[in-house]
Chain A
Amino acid sequence: MNDELYRLKNITKAYGERHVLQIDALTIERGEILALVGPSGAGKSTLLRLLNFLEVPTHGRIRFQNAEFSASQPMPLSLRRRVTTVFQRPFLLNRSVSANVRYGLRLRGRRDHTHAVEQALEQVGLANLARQPARTLSGGEAQRVALARALVIRPDVLLLDEPTANLDPQNIALIEKIVADLNQQQGTTLVLVTHNIFQARRLAKRAALMMDGRIVETAVTETFFQNPRDPRTAAFIRGDIVY
């Protein structure tokens, strides 16, 4: 099954003089889990923002489904809404838990949300907190609500930007299970940025190492971790500091 969802070619992103991203080629397939690892400042989060069409590439085009996205060509809203991101911090709105989960559906003008919201909250194990104000939640609960808010819109692509970086092991395990199920049961494509190479290994089907805005190596997870081509990948996995 070779169903291409994203195709990036010769993408660069610069903020003023500073080049933060330079990707020669990258494809993401429908239904896969791709992990992006690498030191901070490597451009992983920037890449996710491009994949969510939140920022435009300075040069180059991103092909998503049947549309093209570039500096002069915005992504149509209906396709942009097929993708969403869960960031490192939950960024909940100052409303009730269920109002937060409902938010994405309301943006899309959908009014039949009661059941969907309940279901999403059940999926993350927080159905009992639906009516609480969002700011009374603990860190782990808040992040799970953020996840429910993303699940409820049933995206084709879910981008995860270090979603478990600040959480305890129990919440990490819960969130990993939820996203793995999502991928298996609904075929949601996942792109995961993580500092935790064990997490990448547990979840991903493919992994990519990024450094200085470039992709060093992309490989099937097993190969990536056991038999990397690039010496920098090997060093990164060993935990050495790479330059």
Chain B
Amino acid sequence: MALSLRVSGLALLISTAAGIPTGALLGLTRFRGRPFLVTLMYTGMGFPPVVVGLFVYLFLSRNGPLAGIESALIPALFTPGAMVLAQSIIAFPLVAGFTMAAVMGVDPQLRLQVQALGATHWQTTLTILAEARMGVLVSVIAGFGGIISEVGAVMLVGGNIDGRTRVLTTAIVLETRKGNFDLAIALGIILLGLTFLANWLMLRLQGSDE
């Protein structure tokens, strides 16, 4: 359970740090290649997590392109690091996509007004993100929901190793297969409770803006 939260929490942090700026950029600027990037991101939002897992698996496996490189940034297969990597990739388009939609929902005239009051580009972007704060929060919640409940990718790249890479979802799969329905149900309830708690905390942190 602690591992579930650690892996998904860290992955969420990474994808939020990358996804919110990306979403803001795509929502507030027009440049060549933007429509292509937006299509790519929407595809990513609906991409089956297990396929992401497969790609990460292939990249990190012994015959993969990254296998020979020794770096702290490239995790080994069947470690929590590999799971964080896969989940970051899954959550990133969700966070970026919903952030983009939220930012685009802010009246473009408000941007003009904010600039007229003397805001720099950077200040304008921050103000628009603040105006869209509810939608930005939803993007983070969607990213979290997408990965805390995810089983295929973590199973593939983590390997469901007891005490090392077994998380709640993979444990549920295993226990169900073994016929331990009681334990599986119990784990399921814990997962639900955890998700509820995490979402509730995020909403509280934001300061209940009705």
**Separation of A149 and B113 alpha carbons in the complex (Å):** 11
Are B107 and A91 in contact, with the CB atoms below 8 A?
Answer: yes
Query: Is the beta-carbon distance between A103 and B112 smaller than 8 angstroms?
Result: no
Proximity bits, B107-136, A CB within 8 Å = 1, else 0: 101101101111110010001001100000
B contacts, CB < 8 Å to A: 107, 109-110, 112-113, 115-120, 123, 127, 130-131
Whether A107 contacts B109 by the Cβ 8 Å rule is no
Q: Which of B110, B119, B131 contacts A107 (CB 8 A)?
A: B119
Looking at the assembled complex, report how far the CB atom of A157 sits from the nearest CB atom of chain B, in whole angstroms.
11
- Contact between B118 and A80, CB atoms less than 8 A apart: yes
Whether, in the assembled complex, A77 has its beta carbon less than 8 Å from a beta carbon of chain B, the answer is yes
* Cα separation A89 to B116 with both chains bound (whole Å): 14
Given A87-B109, A89-B109, A91-B110, A54–B116 Cβ distance below 8 Å?
yes
Main secondary structure of the interface of B (DSSP, over half): helix
Q: Do A81 and B118 have beta carbons less than 8 Å apart?
A: yes
Indicate which residue in B110, B113, B123 contacts A85 across the interface (CB closer than 8 Å).
B113
Q: List 25 A-B contacts (CB under 8 A).
A: A49-B112, A54-B112, A54-B115, A54-B116, A77-B118, A80-B118, A81-B118, A83-B116, A84-B116, A84-B117, A85-B113, A85-B116, A87-B112, A87-B113, A89-B109, A91-B113, A93-B110, A104-B117, A104-B118, A107-B119, A107-B120, A107-B123, A149-B117, A153-B117, A153-B118
- Chain A: residues with CB nearer than 8 A to chain B? 49, 52, 54, 77, 80-81, 83-85, 87, 89, 91, 93-94, 103-104, 107-108, 149-150, 153, 159
Would you give the shortest CB distance from B149 to chain A, in whole angstroms? 32
Report yes or no: A93 in contact with B115, Cβ–Cβ below 8 A. Answer: no
CA separation between A80 and B117, bound complex, in Å? 9
Rounded to whole Å, the gap between the CB of A50 and the closest CB of chain B is: 12
Q: Kindly list chain A residues whose C-beta atoms are within 8 Å of the C-beta of B130.
A: 93
Q: Which residues of B contact A108 (CB under 8 A)?
A: 118
Extra contacts besides A49-B112, A77-B118 (10): CB < 8 Å: A54-B112, A54-B116, A80-B118, A84-B116, A85-B113, A87-B112, A87-B116, A103-B117, A104-B118, A150-B117
Q: Is the CB of A91 within 8 A of B118?
A: no
The smallest beta-carbon distance between A178 and chain B, in angstroms, is: 18
What's the least CB distance linking B73 to chain A, in Å? 37
Whole-angstrom distance between the alpha carbons of A85 and B111 in the complex? 12
